[in-house]
Structure 1
Amino acid sequence: MKTYITIKENYQHELIIKKSRFITNLARVQTPEAAQDFITRIKKQEYKANHNCSAFIVGDHNQFQHANDNGEPAGTAGIPMLETLQQMQVQNVVAVVTRYFGGIKLGSGGLIRAYRQSVSQAINAVGRVQGIQQQELLVTIAYNKLDSLMYWLQQQHLVIANTSYTDQVILTILVNKNQIEQTKKDLNNLLNAQIQMELGNTTFNEIPLV
């Protein structure tokens, strides 16, 4: 599996623009069928709304893409939403923006900005994660080396998956697979080679993007 960027979790976000309510629902999906099911569910849930516009990007190579204006002027909703998903580099995500008209017309330019803003604000609010292939590195050290190691791990933003305390300390650290050799060298230098290291399982983990 290659690396990917997606949203942290399913999310709902609301925006008021010139008295119109724009409610964005985001969901993580793995297939176009799941994306369409989500769109259908939101449409049923928000059946009183003026519009339920949608867009999604699905597939390991972004091969399934969709945009629908749902009654808004052509090109003012679905495409701006899809372009926002593309610009924010998320995949396997579906977005539905529900609009309740507030009595003030926004015009084509205003609608495009509103739908883009609705999706981008929702994604920024929920946060994005990057799926990265990582390797477990099992590190065994003496107790008097623990503080130095913990400080270094914090500086490097490395995640500790597990810690065991026996006559020594054994930490399971998650390291990006392409950084394993450099990390081992750095740890040897940091602890003057007073360390034992062993490779564990390979996993796929999601890291928050800041």
Structure 2
Amino acid sequence: MVEREIEVRRSRFICAVARVGAEEEARAFAAGRRRAHPGAAHTCTAFAIGGERSPARGDDDGEPGGTAGAPMLDTLLRRGFSDTVAVVTRYFGGVLLGAGGLVRAYGRAVGQTLDAVRPVRMVPAVVMAVRIGHAHAGRLESDLRASPYEVRDVGYGEDVVIETAVERAGLAGFEEWVATASAGRARVSRGKVVFTPSDG
């Protein structure tokens, strides 16, 4: 979490941004900020999760419609942030800012907080399931954990299934790597597309 505060005509705008992976996490973060500032006049929220068709929301929390959540969300999206929630807590300073003043204040609070954030570039990757017999699974899992490929999950059933996510450009290389590392014993299948942090 990164937090910054600005003051506009005696009103305090405290913005906190955090990385989240789901809408429920964003809402839980906003609820936590509301509990942390029970005396605040407004706790406004904006979040963007995943790609273009994934949830993106802004909440004005009692401010005039479109003056808080919308400019906050616009700032997140314009800066290219996703999987991110921004919560701005406002302590009213006694001076009305008007619709334009509120839009500028909420947008600026988020923008200045994002300036202090070190963004992580996310890239599409394919979840790869590597299936291998129990007798050879331990060695392959160990080799995978020592490789550049991140192990996401390991399931134990009739066979052992090790899941990892591989950037699309590296799929063929990964399949070759598994074939070599397992001496041809492992079977690889491709699953859904996810987003993972890029090393580049």
State whether TM-score is above 0.5.
yes
| Cα distance in structure 1, aligned partners of 2:197 and 2:18 | 19
Aligned letter for 1:15? I
Name 1:105's counterpart in structure 2.
96
Per-residue CA shift, 1:60-95, capped at 9, x if unaligned?
A: 445101111101111110111111111111101011
Q: Which runs of 5+ in 1 are unaligned?
A: 1-9, 135-160, 162-175, 179-198
Counterpart among 48, 57, 81 of residue 48 in structure 2 = 57
State whether residues 129 and 207 of structure 1, in contact with CA within 8 Å, keep that contact through their aligned partners in structure 2: no
The Cα RMSD (Å) is 2.5
| Cα distance in structure 2, aligned partners of 1:133 and 1:53 | 30
Check if 1:79 corresponds to 2:70. yes
| Cα distance in structure 2, aligned partners of 1:24 and 1:207 | 28
Distance 1:127 1:110, change over 3 A: same
Q: How does 1:80-95 map to 2 (within 5 A)?
A: 80-95=71-86
| Cα distance in structure 2, aligned partners of 1:72 and 1:64 | 22
Per-residue CA shift, 1:146-170, capped at 9, x if unaligned?
A: xxxxxxxxxxxxxxx9xxxxxxxxx
Per-residue CA shift, 1:120-151, capped at 9, x if unaligned?
A: 110011232213589xxxxxxxxxxxxxxxxx
State whether residues 27 and 95 of structure 1, in contact with CA within 8 Å, keep that contact through their aligned partners in structure 2: yes
Name 1:129's counterpart in structure 2.
120
Q: How many residues align?
A: 138
Name 1:20's counterpart in structure 2.
11
State whether residues 132 and 207 of structure 1, in contact with CA within 8 Å, keep that contact through their aligned partners in structure 2: no
Q: Which runs of 5+ in 2 are unaligned?
A: 126-147, 149-166, 170-175, 179-195
**What secondary structure is seen at the aligned counterpart in 2 of 1:111?**
helix
Distance 1:133 1:57, change over 3 A: closer
Q: How much has 1:59 moved relative to structure 2?
A: 2.2
TM-score of the aligned structures, taking structure 2 as reference length: 0.62
Aligned letter for 1:93? T
Aligned letter for 1:55? A
Name 2:164's counterpart in structure 1.
none
**What secondary structure is seen at the aligned counterpart in 2 of 1:127?**
coil
Aligned letter for 1:39? A
| Cα distance in structure 2, aligned partners of 1:67 and 1:89 | 16
Counterpart among 61, 67, 70 of residue 58 in structure 2 = 67
Percentage of pairs with the same residue: 39
State whether residues 2 and 17 of structure 2, in contact with CA within 8 Å, keep that contact through their aligned partners in structure 1: yes
Name 2:37's counterpart in structure 1.
46
| Displacement over 2 Å in runs of 4+ | 59-62, 131-134, 204-208
| Cα distance in structure 2, aligned partners of 1:207 and 1:124 | 21
